[in-house]
Structure 1
Amino acid sequence: MRFTAYVEDGQELDIRPARAERAWMSKLNEGFAYGCLPMMISNQHGWEICSPVGFTAIWNGGDHPDCVAILPDEPGNHRIVSHFGFGIVTFSFPAVFRTEPGYDLVIQGPPNMPVDGASPLSGTVETDWLLSSIAMHWQLTRPNHAVRFRKGDPLVQVFPTRRGDLEAFAPEMKRVSDDPEVAGYMEEWLTRRRAFQAALHQPDSPAREQRWPGHYRRGQDVTGTKVAPPDHRTRQRLASFEDRRSKEPKPQ
């Protein structure tokens, strides 16, 4: 299916498949966090758009747009402004995104990439018909604190999602004991997990060498039986945007 970014003439858009790596994950106990497959899949869920310039944003705590100072490392129109006040910084894309019929575009901050003093604000846009540029917003949360983004840092992560899928679900709530199979499995899971965690505190134990049980990554249940469907994933492999822009801009 097509997912197209129409980049404005004379502008560039630094967009690429989202990376699995996070600086804090690499530092945490020799990369221990990379053993968490759900987090790794989430990190790669979409395409990241990177900052065209390094900049610092400072909010003095007021409500007016002028209460935010945005200090770019280099001059130019970088489309990073404060439109709304309340400490909100807006990054406008120099592009119009278009998705297939029936698909929206989710716009959010890069997952599992916290920024001290700033929180990303998410949005969902019907990009199968809306032909206008969209934006990403970050809200500064600590007055008089300098929030730093470097050139090339991911500011945004986007991915298409089919409209109406969530509304088609019929949520329900049950007790674990309502299903003997679920209850039996949960008891076995808890017993094995507690034993594994206890073994982590024993020097030279197999669990300490293993660090993670790893059943989910291998598509197995806690007994080691293969139960995952054939489409079980241990990473996402998204295609890069293919540059099909014409060599010369069209006359207006």
Structure 2
Amino acid sequence: MPRRLIAYQTGPALPGLRPASARRGWMDETPNGFAYRCLPMTVANAHGWEVIGDTAFEAWWNGGSRKTDIVIRPLGGGAIRPMSHFGSGILTFPIDALLRTEPGIGLWVSGPPNSPKDGIMPLSGLVETDWAPMTFTMNWRFTRPDHVIRFEAGEAICFFFPLDRGLIGRHQPQSRPITEDAALEAAHRGWRQGRRAFNEALHEEGSPERAKGWQKDYHRAPGIADHMTKPRVLPFPPLP
């Protein structure tokens, strides 16, 4: 049964909200786009929604703890303007929307996964959006002083996805030797031997393995009905 995720408008307009993309510029630049062969990474990239910034700006931090130790230079107009609210090298984006999830479901909030930005990093939080009547801010922290960072208009400033808040507490960690599960041990041994043989054959000129390029075992996931190769993330509809 579908779960509701509501974005309530709390200001003049909702910020731009869109399903996250699996694409990354640095992944495009890898030879033959090989980075996209890592399915767990591409699924993580697209496993949520993005908040889109509409203000191009540059900013830098002098290394101090005061709010005034961050300088922000807008390069155009826009509604989502970053600010220095906390000090300590933290750049803050106000998110002018109140997101509401169903009971027991929160939102994991961070920056776009696998999208490094030189000189600044997103801070992550788990927001209890099933009850909280307040909005949240998206915060990034400078990683070194005297380095100019830049965001473009249309760039994602925030990434979020729903998470069962009680799920982690319902897991009981265990440690066991793999020999306790004969079927799993055999499957793992077969995969490991196949992987080794495939990697060795990649170095052989004219081998079928070299022509194939990669094994795709994880992509195929035989017999797994709910194997995820592309998240189904629906867009937010426009306001009525």
The question of a shared fold, defined as TM-score above 0.5 by the shorter chain, is answered with yes
TM-align CA RMSD: 1.6
- How much has 1:175 moved relative to structure 2? 2.2
Which residue in the other structure is 1:72 paired with?
74
SS of structure 1 residue aligned to 2:15: coil
CA contact (8 A) 1:49 1:155 kept: yes
Identical positions, percent: 41
What CA deviation, in whole Å up to 9, does each residue of 1:99-145 have, x standing for no partner?
A: 11221111111111111111111011111111111111111101111
1:227 pairs with 196, 210, 223, which one? 223
2:19 pairs with 17, 22, 26, which one? 17
What CA deviation, in whole Å up to 9, does each residue of 1:160-198 have, x standing for no partner?
A: 112201100111011233433333322222211112112
SS of structure 1 residue aligned to 2:31: coil
- Say whether residues 1:238 and 2:233 are aligned partners: yes
| Mapped partners of 2:169, 2:98: distance in 1 | 27
Pair 1:191–1:133, CA change in 2 (3 A): same
Which residue in the other structure is 2:132 paired with?
130
Which residue in the other structure is 1:54 paired with?
56
SS of structure 2 residue aligned to 1:41: helix
| Mapped partners of 1:129, 1:190: distance in 2 | 47
CA contact (8 A) 2:64 2:88 kept: yes
- Say whether residues 1:207 and 2:205 are aligned partners: no
Gaps of 5+ in 2: none
Which residue in the other structure is 1:111 paired with?
113
Count of residues in correspondence between the two structures: 238
- How much has 1:75 moved relative to structure 2? 4.3
Greater displacement, 53-62 / 5-14: 5-14
SS of structure 1 residue aligned to 2:200: helix
Report the TM-score when normalising by structure 1. 0.89
Report the TM-score when normalising by structure 2. 0.93
CA contact (8 A) 2:63 2:146 kept: yes
SS of structure 1 residue aligned to 2:183: helix
Matches within 5 A, 1:133-152: 133-152=135-154
Greater displacement, 65-74 / 5-14: 5-14
CA contact (8 A) 1:79 1:93 kept: no
Gaps of 5+ in 1: 220-225, 246-252
SS of structure 2 residue aligned to 1:137: strand
| Mapped partners of 1:112, 1:127: distance in 2 | 25
- How much has 1:79 moved relative to structure 2? 3.3
| Mapped partners of 1:208, 1:86: distance in 2 | 51
| Mapped partners of 2:78, 2:194: distance in 1 | 58
| Mapped partners of 2:74, 2:207: distance in 1 | 51
